[in-house]
Structures are given as C-alpha cells and as structure tokens.
Amino acid sequence: MSATSPLTAARGLHDAERFTRPELEALQLERLQWTVRHAYENVPFYRNRFDEMGVHPSDIRQLSDIERLPFTTKDDLRANYPFGLFAVPMEDVRRVHASSGTTGRLTVVGYTDRDLENWADLIARSLYASGVRPGWKVHNAYGYGLFTGGLGAHAGIERLGCTVIPMSGGQTEKQVQLINDFKPDAIMCTPSYLLTIADAFEKAGLDPRESSLKVAICGAEPWTDSMRRELEERLNIKAVDIYGLSEMMGPGVGNECVETQDGPHIWEDHFLPEIIDEDLRQVVDGVQGELVFTTLTKEAFPMIRYRTRDLTSLNPGTARPAHRRIAKITGRNDDMIILRGVNLFPTQIEEIALEVEHLTSHFILELSKRGTMDHLVVKIEPEVAATGAEADAAAKVLQKRIKDRAGTTLGVELVAPGTLPRSEGKLKRLYDLR
C-alpha cells in the first residue's frame, strides 16, 4: 500500500500508523521544513515575524529547531481577519470554516482541495481507531455549518466507506427517533449532547442501553473519565475521545484507540505537538502545560506554533506506538476559575459530582460577587428518584468533597430535575455574573 493511495489507506491502518518513531520524525522534519518555507514565502504576517526574530526557514535543520520560531495566537488570527493568514490564492481555497469563541471576532480558517482530502483521511483514520468499520451506519450529530464538527466528520465517515446520517445538532426528539428507526452503529457528538440524547431516550420510554449504538466518538469539549463511564454505562457503548481544533483543521487532529482508551493519539505525520510552560519554554513529555501545534501538511492555512490554550501533557504512543498521546484535557487556561487563589476547572466538579450518589451530571457554575469576594455556586439537579432528604445529604457530600479535593468552599444549590439548560453541542458550564 502506498502512503498516497487515500482510498485503500483510509480503510485500514495507514502506513504512517505503523511507522517507527525515527521514520515518523524523518517525515516530520521534511514536512516542517516545507511548512516553514511555505508560510514564510506566502504569508506576510509570518515573514515579518520571522524577520523580526532574525530566523529564516533555512535555519530549520532538525526538529528541535522549532523552538527558534515565533508562536501564533488567536489574537493573531483575529488581527488578520478574515483571510490574512491564507497562504494560497483565494481561488485555490475550496472551503472556509469559522469559530466564534466566547469573545470578539470570528476566527476564519481555509482549506485547499488537498487539505480537505487529508482531513477526510484523518477522520477516517480516527474512526477506524475508534472501532468503526466500513459498512457501518454513522449518525453524525456534530453541528453542520461554520463549525468544523459536522462537515469535517461527514467527509471522513464517507471516506471510510460508511453510511453517513447527517443529522447535525439539536432537534433532540428527532435524533432519538432516527437512532431508533435507522439503527446506526456509531454516533458522533459532544459528550454533553450524548447525555442529553440518553435522557431523551428515557423520556420517550425507550431504554438507551437497547439502542443499536456500539460506539460514540465524542469530543469538542473537555470531559472526564467519570463522564465516559456514565455514558458507557447508560448507553451500553464504548465512548472514544476525538480531539481537534479549527485552527489546525477541525476534528481528527488526534483520536483515541478503542482497544486502549488511554487518550487521543495525535496524528503526528500531520501535526507537530509541543507542550510549553508559563514561560513559553518547551517541557519534556509527561509534564503538563499548554499544548502548541505546528501544521505539517496544511496548504491554505499553515499554522506555526499555534498556542491552543488547552492544558494537557504528551505521553508515549501505545496502540499506535510512534504517535504520542495527549492526556485527557482538564480544561483550557481561559476557562480556569481562580477562586480566592485556588485554580479550579469545571471538569474537576464534573469528576466529583458524578461520584456522589443521588446527584446527576447536570450542573452549572455561577460566579458572582459577595461584597468584594468572588463566590462560586454549583447548581445541580438531583436524580428524579431521590427523596428530599437524600438529595440534601448528597449536596452536603458534594460540598465536602470539593473542599477536600479542590481546597476551596463552594456553595451547592439543588435545583429541580430537568430545569437546567441542556447541551445541544458544546455545553456552557460557567456563568459569570460578576
């Protein structure tokens, strides 16, 4: 099999998945040199940055030379809105996507024909790693449109030789009906939306464990291993983690293997990952920090050392030995809550809430001011079947466990089952009322 025959390659293991680490690194170096030259020659922003730092593409002689290159941030994307960072003429850009983020301008990304081909291949590779096989029906509940989730996943499902059910997000009752009637083998959606769908099954009088689904490929937001267990238990499926971001491509930058479920392997033949500390210095594998990526094959939108703001560590490959894995992302450094000097992530609360009997994973965090102090309240739904006394006791347990493990006291308020907003895509956990 040749590395360039996409159809066959995408329907089994790609050559790059069998590489040894030295083989992979040789390819990475060649591709890094190409990318750096491509960006320098075609994007004035990169040329100026490189010139300011006195670095030239010819200085990249080995992979570690990447540390000589400047970082790129979301602000740089915004400052070059909409197409300022594109490295090919507009007529060669076949598609754009955009993400809104929480503040300010859209960030826009673009793809050439070849970029779209690579993306479909990488989703196919990710699905294969998830245990999906040609001939399966895949229900795609990632949102279609400017968001990369829907259309990105769509092309890869087809590429693997599966039947795609292009449902998109929302219309939850209809999702349940289609899953029940079309009997898909796999589903793609955010973990929080899968929970909404499981609830909707029960509301419709159906047992989610009895559905045809075998695998869920979940990502686009941080989630915990406790949430994985909850989803696997409630739906009788395997839940596998898919990672990605628009600035690199979209979904499929990395994916977990179903046989090990030990964190997404980054597809390092296309993306070069680094982890940096607060002083922006590279740290060694195993140490947590901010994830940074450089694209290795992107034509329309090469990105050099893009700071993702995602907090994780890089660990040795397992099921795909040459491709390092990222640890489950605890959060982003911009959704970290600093409460009276203690750092907190919504995922920490999720982890703890899911352990407490009689509570559900339906909760939000409300941050407000009491006098001059910040105050954080967890509003959480108890299980429908819990008695008032059971729910009250559970709320106290939650508060105590948060205090013991996160080191700070939060308010815990019970709210009636079914009253908190339900996810239809990326779930908003934190409401800042200050």
The CA radius of gyration of the chain, in Å to the nearest whole number, is: 22
Task: Report d(CA 414, CA 407) in Å as an integer.
Answer: 21
Residue type, 176: V
Stretch that binds ligand DLL, among 31-39, 73-81, 161-169, 246-254 (CB under 6 A): 246-254
Cβ atoms of 328 and 315 closer than 8 Å = no
Query: Could you say whether residue 301 binds ligand DLL (CB under 6 A)?
Result: no
Q: Tell me which of 33, 99, 177, 333 binds ligand DLL, using CB under 6 A.
A: 99
Task: Report d(CA 55, CA 41) in Å as an integer.
Answer: 13
- The least CB distance from residue 350 to ligand DLL, in Å, is 12
Tell me whether residue 57 or residue 191 sits nearer to ligand DLL (CB atom): 191
# chain residues binding ligand DLL, by CB under 6 A: 20
* Residue 245 burial by Cβ neighbours in a 10 Å radius (0-12, 13-18, 19+): buried
- The least CB distance from residue 246 to ligand DLL, in Å, is 3
Tell me whether residue 36 or residue 239 sits nearer to ligand DLL (CB atom): 239
Please report, as residue ranges, which positions from 194 to 233 form the binding site for ligand DLL (by CB under 6 A). 219-222
Query: Could you say whether residue 162 binds ligand DLL (CB under 6 A)?
Result: no
Tell me whether residue 201 or residue 243 sits nearer to ligand DLL (CB atom): 243
Tell me whether residue 2 or residue 102 sits nearer to ligand DLL (CB atom): 102
Residue type, 310: D
Q: Tell me which of 308, 360, 361, 423 binds ligand DLL, using CB under 6 A.
A: 308
Task: Report d(CA 355, CA 344) in Å as an integer.
Answer: 18
Query: Could you say whether residue 184 binds ligand DLL (CB under 6 A)?
Result: no
Cβ atoms of 296 and 28 closer than 8 Å = yes
- The least CB distance from residue 126 to ligand DLL, in Å, is 9
Q: For residue 45, what are the contacts with CB-CB under 8 A and spacing of at least 6?
A: 76, 80, 84, 85
- The least CB distance from residue 432 to ligand DLL, in Å, is 18
Tell me whether residue 88 or residue 141 sits nearer to ligand DLL (CB atom): 141
Tell me whether residue 29 or residue 257 sits nearer to ligand DLL (CB atom): 257
Query: Could you say whether residue 143 binds ligand DLL (CB under 6 A)?
Result: no
Cβ atoms of 303 and 293 closer than 8 Å = yes
The position carrying tokens 């990318």 is 35
Mark 376-389 as b/e (b = at least 16 C-beta within 10 Å).
bbbbbbbeeebeee
Cβ atoms of 326 and 263 closer than 8 Å = yes
- The least CB distance from residue 32 to ligand DLL, in Å, is 21
Tell me whether residue 211 or residue 312 sits nearer to ligand DLL (CB atom): 312
**Nearest CA-CA partner of 121 in 217, 27, 10:** 10
* Residue 312 burial by Cβ neighbours in a 10 Å radius (0-12, 13-18, 19+): buried
The DSSP element (H or E) to which 343 belongs, if any, is: strand 342-344
Cβ atoms of 60 and 37 closer than 8 Å = no
Q: Tell me which of 251, 273, 317, 425 binds ligand DLL, using CB under 6 A.
A: 251
Q: Tell me which of 32, 242, 258, 376 binds ligand DLL, using CB under 6 A.
A: 242
Query: Could you say whether residue 250 binds ligand DLL (CB under 6 A)?
Result: yes
Query: Could you say whether residue 274 binds ligand DLL (CB under 6 A)?
Result: no
- The least CB distance from residue 45 to ligand DLL, in Å, is 20
Stretch that binds ligand DLL, among 83-91, 175-183, 239-247, 316-324 (CB under 6 A): 239-247
Q: What 3-state class would DSSP assign to 164?
A: strand
Q: For residue 115, what are the contacts with CB-CB under 8 A and spacing of at least 6?
A: 94, 249, 297, 298, 299, 300, 301
Q: Tell me which of 46, 142, 301, 306 binds ligand DLL, using CB under 6 A.
A: 142
Q: Tell me which of 115, 230, 310, 424 binds ligand DLL, using CB under 6 A.
A: 310
Tell me whether residue 170 or residue 407 sits nearer to ligand DLL (CB atom): 170
- The least CB distance from residue 133 to ligand DLL, in Å, is 20
Query: Could you say whether residue 245 binds ligand DLL (CB under 6 A)?
Result: yes
Cβ atoms of 377 and 413 closer than 8 Å = yes
Tell me whether residue 249 or residue 356 sits nearer to ligand DLL (CB atom): 249
Task: Report d(CA 317, CA 325) in Å as an integer.
Answer: 6
Per CB under 6 A, residues contacting ligand DLL are 99, 142, 148-149, 219-222, 241-246, 250-251, 308, 310, 329, 332
